[in-house]
Structure 1
Amino acid sequence: MSYQYVGFGERFAATMIDVLLLLIITLPLSIWIYGDKLVSDTSLIHGPADIIINYLVPPLLVLLFWRYRSATPGKMLIKATIVDAESLKKPSMRQWIIRYLGYIPAMLPLCLGLAWVAFDPRKQGWHDKLAGTVVIKHIGY
């Protein structure tokens, strides 16, 4: 089975699709619950529902998609799959969690850990390196 690593441009496009889909879910709910307060209040957290809608639901959705589809909707659209870097099989739940939490250090220094995908031979971001994952496309079908 042949594969290729998925590069920065395609992964960025997939992420933008995922962000848009999450906004389609979370923004109307937040506006419905908090209304004008959502725009006028500069707080990071507007109330208990905000914690659930914007801080718990997105990671839960991402982890569920990763666990059951090995990809988010954006990655599915570009026909990419997240796999274990060594076996090229489905990562463990531990790897999924490490990968998700790995976005934090990857984004802190001006998103350098995400931009790393553009320069790494296996197109791994820091979150991939921490979790032992790669993003691939199967070719030759």
Structure 2
Amino acid sequence: MRETEIVRDDAVDAAVQYGGFWLRVGATLIDSLLIVLLTTPLLYSIYGDQYFNPNQIAAGFWDVLISWLLPAVAVIIFWYFKGASPGKMIFRLRIVDAETLAPANMQQLVIRYLGYFVSSIPLGGGLLWVAYDRRKQGWHDKLAKTVVMIER
């Protein structure tokens, strides 16, 4: 990395307040609760008590659609149009391009979402990385070249 790039990064870092680990944990808990409150009654209305069978990964087509695809699409749409999920909005957090601090583009947001799976694999190490990183980036942020900043 060239010296001018390091100076520029330091100047940007001084002007930006990054969303830290505990704020992001709080936002994730709110988002998770919202997803459960929306999807569980819907899935229960389709599958009844058999939906809660602990011996199955998915109850069927509707389970995969409602539990996996719908939340992914909803989160990415929120990120794209609002710059944040509902939980992040409560804490005034925004997902932006790490270099320009402009809104992240759709490709970055899809990579970021898929990056959550990569970040979770090693015992959540890629998510915990937010607590130790200078710019508060998890592995999913690094993969997508995004940062989470606090709006002023």
Tell me how far 1:41 sits from its aligned partner: 5.2
Supply the distance in 1 between the matched residues of 2:138 and 2:54 (Cα, whole angstroms). Answer: 34
Equivalence for 2:36: 23
TM-score (norm 2): 0.88
How do 1:45-84 and structure 2 match up within 5 A?
Answer: 45-84=58-97
Report the counterpart of residue 122 of structure 1 in structure 2: 135
- Structure 1 residue runs without a partner (length 5+): none
More helix by share: 2
Sequence identity percentage: 47
Distance in 1 (alpha carbons) for counterparts of 2:54 and 2:25: 30
Q: Which amino acid aligns with 1:74?
A: G
More RCO (CA 8 Å, sep 6+):
1
> What is the TM-score with the length of structure 1 in the denominator?
0.95
- Cα distance in 1, alignment partners of residues 108 and 52 from structure 2: 37
Richer in strand (by share): 1
Runs of 4 or more, structure 1, over 6 Å off, are none
CA RMSD of aligned residues (A): 1.3
Range that drifts further, 70-79 or 130-139: 130-139
- Comparing 48-57 with 14-23, greater Cα deviation is found at 48-57
Q: What number of residue pairs does the alignment pair up?
A: 139
Tell me, which stretches of 5 or more residues in structure 2 are unaligned? 1-11
Q: CA deviation at 1:3?
A: 3.0
Of the structure 1 ranges 38-47 and 102-111, higher mean CA displacement relative to structure 2 is found in 38-47
Distance 1:54 1:39 in 2: 13
Which has more radius of gyration?
A: 2
